Chain A
């Protein structure tokens, strides 16, 4: 089954404790992206990757890192989480950037206390 998977689905952590949210797709997609969803703000892009060689910042990259060592995986790293990073996170992928449909993972609900 074609899908985007994220782990964990739920995470409660404390300020400053490094964490990684994994994202994997099995559709051989080039483009991958991370979004955060906050009430009243919709989804905002954190980082994106056009392919394994190109990764760049989105609209709200502060406090986040990503890596794209292989096509299928695009982990999101929070080196020192803070309470303002409490949010619902979505990973998405598409065949290429542009008008292609983006497929979304099920989401990761992160709470930082």
Chain B
């Protein structure tokens, strides 16, 4: 079955430190990859996406992610976090073989907590 794994359910990080949130998916088919952020009591907002081309993708708020096809990963990184980055982060994948409903399959989320 096609699935998306976010192994870290919670990640505490000191302010101004770097962070990496991990995402792996299980499939050999072509994929589109996304990271969404959910601030407290809000809906989801797109951080960045990979559809094709350069494997390093830059998004909003200083985040970037790198697609690694051989490792089926799409880890999210930020070199220096701020208090305002406290949120839940979701990795999501479209497995392109699902013709007709190219739905987002979500990971279980990683709660990022910034420590002052």
Residues of A in contact with B (beta carbons under 8 Å apart): 4, 33, 35, 40-45, 48, 50, 56, 58, 90, 92, 97-99, 101-102, 104-107
Known contacts A50-B100, A50-B101; is-contact A101 B106 (Cβ 8 Å): no
Known contacts A42-B106, A43-B90; is-contact A106 B49 (Cβ 8 Å): no
Interface contact A58-B46, CB-CB below 8 Å: no
Interface contact B90-A48, CB-CB below 8 Å: no
Partner of A42, one of B32, B90, B102, B103: B90
Residues of B in contact with A (beta carbons under 8 Å apart): 4, 6, 9, 32, 36, 42-46, 49, 51, 90, 92, 94, 96, 100-104, 106-109
Rounded to whole Å, the gap between the CB of A71 and the closest CB of chain B is 18
Rounded to whole Å, the gap between the CB of B52 and the closest CB of chain A is 9
A50 CA / B103 CA spacing, docked (Å): 10
Known contacts A98-B94, A99-B94; is-contact A45 B43 (Cβ 8 Å): no
Interface of B is mostly: loop
Interface contact A45-B104, CB-CB below 8 Å: yes
Interface contact B107-A42, CB-CB below 8 Å: yes
Interface contact B42-A58, CB-CB below 8 Å: no
A44 CA / B107 CA spacing, docked (Å): 9
Can you identify 9 A-B contacts, CB atoms within 8 angstroms? A4-B43, A35-B106, A41-B108, A42-B106, A42-B107, A44-B106, A56-B100, A98-B102, A101-B49
Closest to A43 in B: B106
A90 CA / B44 CA spacing, docked (Å): 9
A40 CA / B106 CA spacing, docked (Å): 11
Partner of B43, one of A44, A90, A101: A90
A40 CA / B90 CA spacing, docked (Å): 12
A48 CA / B103 CA spacing, docked (Å): 8
| Interfacial chain B residues near A98, Cβ < 8 Å | 32, 94, 96, 102
A-B pairs with the 6 shortest C-beta distances?
A104-B43, A42-B106, A104-B44, A42-B108, A43-B106, A99-B32
Rounded to whole Å, the gap between the CB of A107 and the closest CB of chain B is 6
| Interfacial chain B residues near A101, Cβ < 8 Å | 46, 49
Interface contact B45-A104, CB-CB below 8 Å: yes
